[in-house]
Amino acid sequence: MLAVGAVSLLSLIGLVTISLNEKLLKRVLFLLISLAAGALLGDAFVHLLPEAFSEANALAVSLVVISGILSFFLLEKLLHWHHSHGEEEFSPDHAKIHPVGNLVLVSDGLHNLVDGLIIGAAFMVSTEIGIATTIAIALHEIPQEIGDFGLLLHAGFSRAKALLYNLFSALVAFLGLALAFTLGEMYAFITPFIAAFAAGNFIYIALADLLPELQRTEGKKRSLLQFLVIIVGILLMVALVAFE
């Protein structure tokens, strides 16, 4: 519950956004997106998948991983859900792509529901994996929440309402946590499959959402820096293995 609460409070990161100018914010997002991509890939391949394969049938786990990837693909298709990252989020032209602020809140609420489910399942596997998963999700949430805040402002929300509604959307994660605990208590065997599903989600977010944003980066120095920060994110997840 503390982990979900901490991640949910990241929805208030918009308070920091207000104090930053656009140019500085873009520079920070560039690094945060790179770190998040590495952490998500690291958590999926270093923590979640090894644990899932060790506890359940390999074929079944593989199919669940694929379902996790495809489910997020469908969410983006059906809800026009695009994580708010990159260097275009704070321009008026980009805001026209998301004319309905409520869609941002609904899609983000679904995402937070899955986050709560993922964190709960990870802690049921072990405390160490739960911490690693929480860190990976938090690193991803920071740039996403900053972007969501910017989109809500462009959609016509006041700063106060954007912060408040974004917080309400984030608190949906506690419902996902309760669902994870309920399923875990009723069907202990389902935990590794939830971990596998989460791994699929993480892989999709990193490869289909974050890395394409980073591909638009120009300049050798910036490209090298983003690659190094991605590696740092992966190594952060590898380092947590020592505590398992």
- Residue 151 C-beta-side C-alpha neighbours within 13 Å: 30
Q: Which amino acid is at 37?
A: A
Cβ contacts of 36 within 8 Å, gap of 6 or more = 136, 139, 140, 142, 143, 206, 210, 233
Per the CB < 8 A criterion, the answer to whether 48 and 133 are in contact is yes
Identify the weakest region by mean pLDDT among 65-74, 80-89, 114-123, 170-179. 80-89
The structure's pTM equals: 0.70
Angstrom distance (rounded) from CA 179 to CA 21: 40
Per the CB < 8 A criterion, the answer to whether 14 and 166 are in contact is yes
Residue 15 tokens read as 């308070």
Q: How confident is the model at residue 15 (pLDDT cuts 50, 70, 90)?
A: low
The number of distinct structural domains making up the chain is 1
Q: What is the pLDDT of residue 188?
A: 62
Angstrom distance (rounded) from CA 122 to CA 154: 35
Q: Note the pLDDT tens digit of each residue in 140-194.
A: 777 667 666 766 766 677 777 878 888 888 898 999 888 888 876 665 677 788 7
Q: Note the pLDDT tens digit of each residue in 85-107.
A: 444 444 444 444 333 466 667 66
Angstrom distance (rounded) from CA 184 to CA 125: 10
Q: Give the residue numbers spanning the domain of 21.
A: 2-243
* Mean pLDDT of the 190-217 span: 84
